[in-house]
Structures are given as C-alpha cells and as structure tokens.
Amino acid sequence: MKTWGIEPVSLGTLAGRMSERLAEKPQLLELFRNAIRNTWGTTLKKMEDGTTFVITGDIPAMWLRDSAAQVRPFLALAAEDREVADLIEGLVVRQLRFILHDPYANAFNQEANGHGHQSDDTDMSPWIWERKYEIDSLCYPLQLSYLLWKNTGRMSQFGEEFVKAANVILDLWTTEQRHETDSGYRFERKDGAPTDTLIREGKGAETAYTGMTWSGFRPSDDACEYGYLIPSNMFAVVVLGYLQEIARDVLQDERLFIRAHKLAAEIDDGIQRFGIVQHPEFGPVYAYETDGLGHYNLMDDANVPSLLSIPYLGYRGADDEVYRNTRRFVLSGHNPYFYRGSAAEGIGSPHTPRGYVWHIALAMQGLTEERREEKERLLRLMSETDAGTGLMHESFNPDDPNEYTRPWFSWANMMFCELLMDYCGIRVKR
C-alpha cells in the first residue's frame, strides 16, 4: 500500500482556473488549496490490489458515505486526468467489495485487523469498524459509480462485482421495507450514548409498512427516532433511477432494471403518502422521520442526506413547493437543530454539542442556493469560522468558532471545495 503521493497536474490546473475568478478573494482560494490538498495528501491510500482506501480524517477507517463525498470534487478533474479517474474507480471497486462483505456495515478497516467497535452486539467481522446500518451507506457508492460514468464516460466499474452488489442492495432494501417481520438485523452498543444503540433489544422503534425502506441510523451515525428516514429514502429513489439507467444503457440487464424501477416506485409512493406533514406556519413540509404509525419527527440534521440537500441529491428541484416550505422550516428556529450565535447561524446536529453549527450544513445551504451573493456570504462565513486553522471542522460554537470538534475532517473540507467550485462555475456533471 502507498499514498497517492504527488498531487496530479490537473489539481494545479484547477487551482489556476479558480485563481483567475478569485483574484479579489485570496482567503477563499487559500482555504481551497489547503482543503483539497489535505484530502489528496493525507486521506487517500493506493492499495496493492489497485483499489483505493479513504480514511475519514482523524479516524483511521473508511466510511462508505464519507469516502464518496470526499472524492466527489475530484470528478471535475477525472475526464482529463486518468490518474484521478483511476483513483475514483479504485474507490468504487473497494466500496462494492465492502458491500458484498456486509451490506449492513457503514465503516470498514483497511485490512482484517479487528479494529473499531468489535464489542457491539451485532454480526461483526475483523474487516468491519462499525456496523450501524444506514441507507445512505449503500446510496453513495451507486451514486459515485454513476457520476464517474457521466463525468468521464468510463464504464469499467460496472463489472460483475457491481451487478452482484446492486442486487444485494436491492435485496436488503426490499427486506427492510418490512423490518418488523422480515429483517434479522440487530444492533446494540452497551457502553455508548443512547444515540449509539437501537432500542427493543437492537431492533429499533416499531414501524408499519409504508413502501419506504427502514434505516437504523442517520448519516450522523446517530440512531433514528423513527425508522423511515425521509431524506435517505429520497436518496434511494434517486440512485435507483441511476441504477435503471445503468441497467438499460450499459449492462442491458432487464431484470435489474425492472427490480430497480419497482422498488423506486414503492419507496417514492411511501414518501409522498407518509413523508409530508401539514405545518401550521409553513404549509406542507417533508418530515425528517416517520414510522408509518402516525408519528413524525420535524427537524433536519447537518449530515447529508438531509432535507436541506433535496435538490443536491436530485430528488426535487429547488423550486418545488414542498421543498421551498421545508427549506424555510429547517433554516428557522422551528428546526430544533438550527442555531444562532454572534459569529454564525446554521444547522447543527444532536451528534455534536448543543448549539454547535456544522460546516457541512453551511456548504449545503450554499450548494442549494441560487443567488450568487448568498453563496459568497456562506463561503466567507465558512472561511471566517475556521479558527485560524486553514481547514474546516465538524462543528463549531457560533459564539466562539475557536471552540470546535474534529480538527481533521475531510468531508467538511471537500464540501467547502465543492461550494467554492460551484461559485466559480465548475460543477460535477449529474
């Protein structure tokens, strides 16, 4: 194993293109250079088998979600840089192999070394760092493989392992439509916070059939209060659409196409029937979670997928009425995790100290914003709350940004890069 080493020429070319557009904003450009070079130089590992292992930062494990988000801005370089495209394909292949090892796991070790949460009461293996089941852990690898195709024309990632993994994902999501009766997944952590374990002896809160697919945990790695996580089900609908396109246009696999089409329709129907709530001030809004039994959780979390990220995911456009209502709700004090301070305001998470704002959420607010001046305001806010480190963090105190969590968090760094690239008109094709 070795690191990817010297940064690609295309990375310098990208920085040069951006410097022309940021001549009067050197602070933003410097932060971009720090953040993207930090990810390339410290988190990406080239394995002896040609695959890519990506650590999340200050935790030496690879999350399926984080790793895909960490390399996403590099897709803008992949069409003209074979090394970058190879890196991304290597990551896709390793993600697929991890899914085939255990589709319920969210984070994996570099090798079968038994590191991580081996004492959790669930079906662990030495390869697995953590086995919290999250829908988005399976969405992100499908999305990344599709975006690699769309941005480069490359299709070699759609081999036998891809087809096997896609069918495993379909099997799991179908099983978890009826978690209460059909699923054998259980998870308990005896020595952690209440948000680190599932109630009812690891089964989670009771749910009824809705057509949506169940999730044990949120993309924050916190336990779901109610089992149907709406933004993650939205993401599943989107990637099932990608899977249909791949099955039809690349694989010519009619069975895979039909399976993906049927499941997407069932999940989407469940979102529309059970995921929309009439709010007394904002009108119809998407709930964050529900259980099919009449309970709803009205909130949003900083981690992606989120309700704020709906247009970014590709589920609905920014002009969709229910999304507009939902956006106004989640960016207001009605969202219990929207925080205001003297230095910043934005969405936080129960995963971090109460009142702390996340840089990821600020980036997503900008990526789903149409007004250029608002994008710039959010970019400056992010750059002014880095505590002088030249890098983004997980979360920070909006009254004192010098108080923050996770000094080395690659996902947040790359979300800043993606927003700044978007501001400069450089976007990943979808």
Whether residue 1 is predicted with pLDDT greater than 50 in this model: the reply is no
Place of tokens 């249909």: 244
Which of helix, strand or coil describes residue 142? Answer: helix
Distances (CA, A) of 416 to 47, 310, 330, 378, 422: 27, 18, 20, 10, 10
Give the model's pLDDT for residue 7. 84
**Interatomic CA distance for residues 65 and 135, integer angstroms:** 10
Instruction: Find out whether 62 and 410 touch, Cβ atoms under 8 Å.
Output: no
Give the model's pLDDT for residue 413. 98
**Interatomic CA distance for residues 99 and 6, integer angstroms:** 30
Give the model's pLDDT for residue 36. 95
Predicted confidence band of residue 102 (pLDDT cuts 50, 70, 90): very high
Quote the percentage of the chain above a pLDDT of 90: 97
- pLDDT tens readout for residues 104-122: 999 999 999 999 999 999 9
Q: Whole-number mean pLDDT of the chain? A: 97
- pLDDT tens readout for residues 372-386: 999 999 999 999 999
Give the model's pLDDT for residue 33. 95
Instruction: Find out whether 217 and 132 touch, Cβ atoms under 8 Å.
Output: yes
Over residues 394-417, the mean pLDDT reads: 97
Per-residue tokens: 42: 């410290």
Which of helix, strand or coil describes residue 295? Answer: coil
Per-residue tokens: 129: 């760092």
User: Is there a cis peptide before residue 126, judged by omega within 30 degrees of 0?
Assistant: no
C-alpha closest to that of 8 among 67, 71, 86, 81: 81
Predicted confidence band of residue 3 (pLDDT cuts 50, 70, 90): low
Instruction: Find out whether 172 and 104 touch, Cβ atoms under 8 Å.
Output: yes
Give the model's pLDDT for residue 4. 57
**Interatomic CA distance for residues 116 and 234, integer angstroms:** 30
Over residues 264-287, the mean pLDDT reads: 98
Q: Is 58 exposed, middle or buried, given 0-12, 13-18 or 19+ CB atoms closer than 10 A? A: exposed
Amino acid at 57: G
